[in-house]
Amino acid sequence: MPDEIKTEPEVEEVEHDQYLVFSIESQEYGIQAMRVQEISTVVPATKIPNAPSYVEGIMNLRGKLGSVISFRKKFGFIEKAQDEDTRLIIVEMANFPVGIVVDSVQEVIRIPDEMVQEMPESSRNKVVEEYITGVGMLETKLIILLDVNRMLESGVKETEAIRQAIGDIHNMKNQPPEKKESEVHEEETKMVEKEQIAKEQTARRKGRAKAIKEV
């Protein structure tokens, strides 16, 4: 079981035009703050066999298991070692917690609809563009706005596979541990010995009975 995460204060109730801003490769992105459950520091996740490369594994969210995905890996960015600024953004998909690993989290800001424009064709990242809803045009910076629903819906199959893996883990915990080959061999040897002893005892009893009859 992975270590339980230590959380930072949860995002307060927000409006639809408020966005949580985070960064990847010095570029700032925003997702609707109302979709964010909480923000956490990153802890090691338990790896899942055969999961996509961007799935870091499963986490323990106060006793509830959830998946952890890497934003960098999912969208083809070069991998970067995690540091003290790395954060886990917790969102939810069909009652299943999903933690998104990002380089850092900046702030929650309001970006009115009239300040959102389409992404210029020449600036689009082919991997990310299907998840982009627009660009927040602020006075001092541009923020690429993402649709977190599309991001998560693209991983429905992976999420279901993770659910299945988690179920398998629970089942394994409830099953008695498998015996080692040496233990199985030892038990088989003991059974053979018991059968041999039983045969010898039966033969001796028959021998005594025959001797009594002859007398």
pLDDT digits (tens, 9 = 90+) for 11-53: 455 567 899 999 998 899 999 999 999 999 987 788 888 888 8
Mention every residue, 6+ apart, whose C-beta is less than 8 A from residue 88.
5, 39, 40, 41, 42, 59, 68, 99, 100, 101, 102
Amino acid at 10: E
Phi and psi angles of residue 176, each rounded to the nearest 5 degrees, phi first: -65, 145
Distances (CA, A) of 48 to 52, 57, 59, 204: 9, 5, 11, 60
pTM above 0.75, yes or no: no
Average pLDDT, rounded, for the chain: 77
What does DSSP assign to residue 103? S
Extract the residue ranges of the chain whose pLDDT is less than 70.
Answer: 1-15, 121-128, 154-185, 187-188, 192, 199, 201-215
pLDDT at 9: 46
Distances (CA, A) of 88 to 192, 202, 204: 58, 71, 75
50 contacts 163 by C-beta, under 8 angstroms: no
Dist. CA 8–CA 145, nearest whole Å: 23
